[in-house]
Amino acid sequence: MQDSGNFIITQSTLAGESTKNFNKISLIGIITTQQKYPQYVNFSSILPISIKELNKYMICLCEQIIEIKRRNINIELISLKTLNIFPPSQECCYYFFFKESDESQNFFEQILKLLNQFGYNDSIFSKAKDIQDIVYILFRLYDDQLNDKPNSEIKRIFQNVDNCRGFGSELLNIDVLESKEKRNVLYQSNDMQSSVFQISKPDFINCEDESIVIKIAQKKEQQHQREIEILESFCEDIHYKYYGYFRFEILTMTFFKFYKQTFSQFQQRIRQFISENPNDNKLIQQVIKRAYISIIQQLNLIHKKHQIIHRDLKPQNIMIDSAQDLKQLEDYLEIKCVIIDFDCSIQMDGNEFYQSQSYGGGTSHYVPPESCYSGSSKYTESYDIYQVGVIFLETIFQIDDKIFKEGFWNHINKFQKAKSFLNLSDNLLYILTLMISQDPIERPSLKYILQALQIEL
């Protein structure tokens, strides 16, 4: 067992992966027997409460247990004695803390016993076949408008992202913040299935920041499981501050550090510095190369140590982490680039190439040409190398619409002859342009790219 220092987690073997290394379970509310934080209290200490409030607590309990059961996590026997919550504040959270245990139990039967202890009529749940059925019944008890709705209709209602997000956020008491531009959504996917918000740090997140980020995304069970396992496996290695997750119906809510700047904003700042100092780019060149090195080092760690291919690398998925405000060009010398958003990621099995069983990866002109090949279904490290190559080149070149439309690989010769914003050596420019080769085999390795950057720094 281990404490991450960021959130209450435990180590456990993932379902179906008994031969792999132990990974951290970052589900909100799982605590180890050695854990001193948080200062939870027994649920009975806040009783009595209204029936409406009790229904919400029980809905949250069932949602947590469904995910605990899915992840094969062992906890103490569920009873009124072992139910613990965070000390109630003015704004209430409805999730529970569960101590890790070697005990096995029938979750369905234990929840029914607990509901009986709280005075629910046994007949109400007589037709329930599993915990999900109990959730639907509790929804009916909570909301009169659902009273005559069958399970299939309630399920359909909560397959609506807005409905699900609203109720799920209420259970966790999520306080969404507005930015200076009066926007509270930092990112939203085109299909509206994924949104990122800046929020006030909830009490259950153990970090010093006053605000963090929550990503709320609609995910199928297999996709949800895959991304969470990837996040749990390596985040500390790449300085990606991941604080845990909560699963509510179709939505996965994940909590991360709020980074004030993306690599896209970094690119804009670099162009601004260049325009302001057209004859003095020595420091700019140093800043850019250090940023490139930071990205390559992280990507190499993800590939070699964790056997993960990201597949959706773009400036918006690389954050700039700095301990100081980024105002002057010199401030950017000590930044760390942090790769985020592993929705499209896949994991290779040992040294074997991963046979894709997930949805396609990549965004617009960052997608390498092999993804369009008929019958192509294998992914290698070169997939990410192409995407990083595009990011690198668009940082130091003026890119016209024709290149974006036709694909970077179709203009590799043009890049090799063009003049960049920086005074790059012919060798380094050649290596950077090889990263966008149409043939994946011709793309240089991350080790080779890193050596070339370090030589010129």
What is the torsional sign of CA 307, 205, 26, 355? negative
User: Residue 152: what pLDDT?
Assistant: 92
User: Residue 38: what pLDDT?
Assistant: 60
- Region 361-372: what's the mean pLDDT? 78
The kind and range of the H/E element at 66 are helix 51-70
CA-to-CA distance for 142 and 161, rounded, in angstroms? 19
Reference 353, options 382, 380, 377, 376; nearest CA is 380
User: Residue 177: what pLDDT?
Assistant: 64
pLDDT category of residue 14 using cuts at 50, 70 and 90: very low
**Cα-trace Rg, the chain:** 25
User: Residue 51: what pLDDT?
Assistant: 94
Beta strands, E only, 194-262 = 194-200, 211-218, 242-248, 251-257, 261-262
pLDDT tens-digit series, residues 398-452: 888 889 888 999 999 999 888 888 888 889 999 999 999 999 999 999 999 999 9
pLDDT category of residue 381 using cuts at 50, 70 and 90: very high
- Region 85-114: what's the mean pLDDT? 86
Query: Could you tell me the pTM of the whole model?
Result: 0.84
Ranges of each domain in the chain: 10-257, 261-456
Q: How many CA atoms lie within 13 A of 111 on its CB side?
A: 26
Indicate whether 179 pLDDT > 60.
no
pLDDT tens-digit series, residues 16-65: 333 333 347 888 888 865 555 567 889 999 999 999 999 999 999 999 99
pLDDT category of residue 358 using cuts at 50, 70 and 90: very low
**Which residue type does 335 have?**
I
* Lowest-confidence pick of 8-12, 110-114, 382-386: 8-12
pLDDT tens-digit series, residues 127-152: 999 999 999 999 999 999 898 999 99
Residue 31 phi, psi dihedral angles, 5° rounding: -125, 150
Fold classified for 261-456: Transferase(Phosphotransferase); domain 1 (1.10.510)
How deeply is 341 buried, as exposed, middle or buried, from its count of CB atoms within 10 A (0-12, 13-18, 19+)? buried
